Each structure stands twice: as structure tokens, then as C-alpha cells.
Structure 1
Amino acid sequence: MRARTYRAALKGKTALQKAVTAIGELEVLNSTLITRPSSKGLPPPHLTIAVMNSGKAANVYPSEATFWFDRRLVPGENHDEALKEITDVLDALKKEDDSFDYQLTVTSRRPLLDIPKDDPFIQLVAKSYKEVMGKDVEMVAEPWGSDAAWIRKVTHMPIPNFGAANGENEMGKANEKISTQKYLDFIKVYMMTVVNALS
């Protein structure tokens, strides 16, 4: 969001105020997104405003405001359609107020990692897990990203997120951890997967 720089005593909407307005409208969009049905046990699509910066000093009219958001896709959605929903909201604000301006930069277009449970490699991994651990592996869908999605997009290889961490309880946090026993168990599972793949 941009506006001209003035001393704070002058009137008019600052870039920060315009950004707050835009965020409010994007929250309205999000309230629609979260009502959409999803599949595979995933939560619905959603948009989260995650970071915001504006202003240089308390007595200076902020001329720019930057905010970052995260738009989570679910199977059946694509990046272009999701992006258009966002730009439609921002363009509507621009149409109402010609002093409203924005620049949108996409920092990630991570593809969905969507692998059928009956894929032969997934079944091989599940078999190997059961041979080592003595129980069936739990297969789930989760609403987070993975570099495996890029590898799958390029190679078409089925690369599941499969490891010792206990989902959201242990991954992607400041105190990220896994137990030593789980780590050692998964080394055995990975090795059994290699043995089964080569036999």
C-alpha cells in the first residue's frame, strides 16, 4: 500500500490505514473461504495475514505499508484462481479510491502434494512400516507445505511426508523435536523400504 509522505499533523488516509482497510476486506474473503467444503479430512481453504510493517517514526505520515499473507489451497483449487480472488478484493478498493495503490508479489507457488493412498510406492512404504513396527501406518492428509511437492511436480515420483515426527505436535515449531527411539525406528523402516523395493 502506498501514500504520499507528510508530517503526521496533516489529514488524509495513510498507507497504514489503507493497509488496515485492505486487511479487513481480505478477512471478509477469508470468512467465505472457510465455509467452503473440503475433502480428504483437510480443513477448508483459508487466508491468514501473517506479517505487517509500516512507518518510520511516530511523527511522520507512513507512505508505505507492507503485509504478508498465507493462502492455503486444498485439492480442487489452483493458484491462479486463488490469486484472482485476492486481487479482485484489492482492485475493488482501488476502484472506490483512486489514491489506493498496491503491488502484490507472490513469494511461493508451492504445488499441492496429493498422492493416492493406493499408489504402489505408498503401499510399499506401508508394508515396510508394518514389517518393522508390527502395526499399520496411519495415512492422513495435512494442510501444510513440503519441498516434496516440488520434487513430485518435476519428477512425478510419489514422495510422501513420512517420518518420525508426530505431526503438528513436534514439527515446525521453535522447540521442534523427535524422540531418539522414533528416529531409530524410522531408520529401520527406511532400510526395509529399500530392501522391499529391490527384492
Structure 2
Amino acid sequence: MEQKKKSHIAKSKKLWKTIGIILVLIITYSIGSSSATTTLNDEKVTYDDIQSKVLEAEKELEEVTSKLDDKQNEYDKVKKLIDQKEDVEKELTDLKSKKEEHKSEVKSLKTTIKDKKSELKSLEGDILEAKGKPINLIAGEWIVGEDVPTGRYEASGSSNFVVRDEYGGLKVNTILGGGTVGRGNYVFFAEDGDVIKAAAQVTLTPVE
């Protein structure tokens, strides 16, 4: 009887010991779970709440990343425009420089043209003056275009005066001077290739 009582007490102790261990485990789990939740979030949210916040944060990150990409694209476009602006400004500067060079060339050419016109005017004056001066020919034959310029002349002198064309045809045959045989001065056209033959000195005076 006493032995059975001892056996029953032993079994009761063992049961209570097991129950105590289970309670300790439950309490420990509860405390640990509560502490983990507090550590993760002071607001004591659940796992689902945390997961929701993570997803929300990831979404915000994607939006920020997208905006950053947009800003980067805008920056690239602006930078490209700036680079193009610099290229255009450089090209404009080069064109302005070339314009100044051309202006300088044009100015130089205008000066040259002005000088050439002055030279031409001077030469024309010399030619007119030369045309206006009488030409003295000694006795002999003279070729128009080589020895005498072409033009209209008044021949004066005191001898026979003959002019033939380039083919030998007679154009002028007279006696210059006064007296009984002289016929006075003679006006004629001296053309290229004509041959003038004078028996004595002759003066050819250009006339209009």
C-alpha cells in the first residue's frame, strides 16, 4: 500500500515536471515572439504588415529609379544641346572670320581695280595723245599696222605720195605741196596692211 502511494506520488511529480517544462516553453516562445516583433518594428506590426511595407518600399524605389532615369535622359538631352550649341558657336565664329577675310580680299580687289582703272585711263590718255601727235615719215615705204597706226590722216609735204592696199591695189596717188604741180595736203584712211610710199619726208597728222 505504501509502495503504491510512493509510485503514485512519483508519477504525479513527473507529470507536473512535464507540464512545467511545457509552460516554460510556451512562456519562452511568447516572450521571444513578442521581443522579435518589437525589434523588427516599434509599432508591433505583424509579418504581413512588414511584408506589405517592404513591397511598398520596393514600389517607391522603382518610382524613384524611374524618375532618376527620366532626369538622366533630360540631362543627356540638355548636354547634347549644349554640345551642339558649342559646335554652332564655333562654326559661327569660323564663318565670321572667313567673312572678315573675304571683306579684306574684296577691299584689296577694289583697290586693285581702282588702280588698274587709273592706269587704263592714263594709258588711254597716252594713246589719245599719241594719236593726236603728227607722225613724221622720211622718204621710203611704210606698212600700216606695223610702222604706222591705223586711222585717218592728213598727209602734208612736197613730194609724190602713194598708198596701196595689202593686195597691191592703188588707194592714193598724189603730189603733196604747193606750186604748179603740187595738189596740197591729202586726207586718207590708213588701214591695216596698207603700204605708204613717200618720195620725200611726209607728215601724217591724225584727224577725226
TM-score higher than 0.5 here? no
More strand by share: 2
TM-score bin, normalised by smaller chain: under 0.3
TM-score by length of 2: 0.21
Structure exhibiting the larger radius of gyration computed from Cα positions: 2
More helix by share: 2
